[in-house]
Amino acid sequence: MASLHAEWIASAADTATISGEVGHLPADFRTDRTGKGATGQWTIVSDSTAEGGRALAQLSPDQTDYRFPLAIYEPVTATNVNVSVRFKAVAGRVDRAAGIAVRLTDADNYYVVRANALEDNVNFYRVVKGVRQQIHGVRTKVTSDQWHTLGIRATGNQFAVMFDGRTLFTADDSTFPGSGKVGLWTKADSITHFDSLTIHRLP
């Protein structure tokens, strides 16, 4: 069983565990891509350092710069959410990034918070009609080949971004006030492992 979990609060007992075999996309996920280049190669991989020994990984090494593979979690559609995921930036020459997309209506419209191990920063963007626009960001050390935790809390126009257990910054934006999906995100040739995805639906 893969150690990728999704939890959300719609009632006291609504909890789902996503499992699957190595070499396959987990159930309840679909893939998509913003930008150009090849589609992402999302699959469960063996990883002895991940919880349960497995992770969901994006493995395509396509170096197209404006390329953002997505693994979208289908069961949850929400406006206000608190989402966190553990990630490990494994490789990438153009980029070495991991992100969480929220309020995703399609592959060209959503918010995304991302950490980059080549740039040592965590940035928050809106993607509008396929064009990525930075809202806010800070510099912080993002180590390759080490597990980190990335999180975002979205409530109305207010957003809080967390990294390794601490709040890095807050931001205001009203571009996407409605509901959408939650997804995992990478950039260009980033080879990234993810586990422990947690989604809490908020009032």
CATH number where 39 lies: 2.60.120.560
Which range marks the domain in which residue 197 is found?
4-201
Domain total for the chain? 1
Burial track 96-108 (b if 16+ CB lie within 10 A, e otherwise): bbbbbbbbbeebb
Determine the pLDDT at residue 6.
52
Record the tokens describing residue 182, joined without a space.
Answer: 């939650």
Burial label, 173 (beta-carbon count in 10 A; 0-12, 13-18, 19+): middle
- Look at residues 3, 1, 45, 8 and name the one whose alpha carbon lies nearest to residue 182: 8
Determine the pLDDT at residue 51.
85
Distance CA 131, CA 3 (A): 33
- pLDDT exceeds cutoff 50 at 203: yes
- pLDDT exceeds cutoff 60 at 14: no
Q: What is the pTM for the complete model shown?
A: 0.93
39-53, 93-107, 109-123, 171-185: which range is least confident on average?
39-53
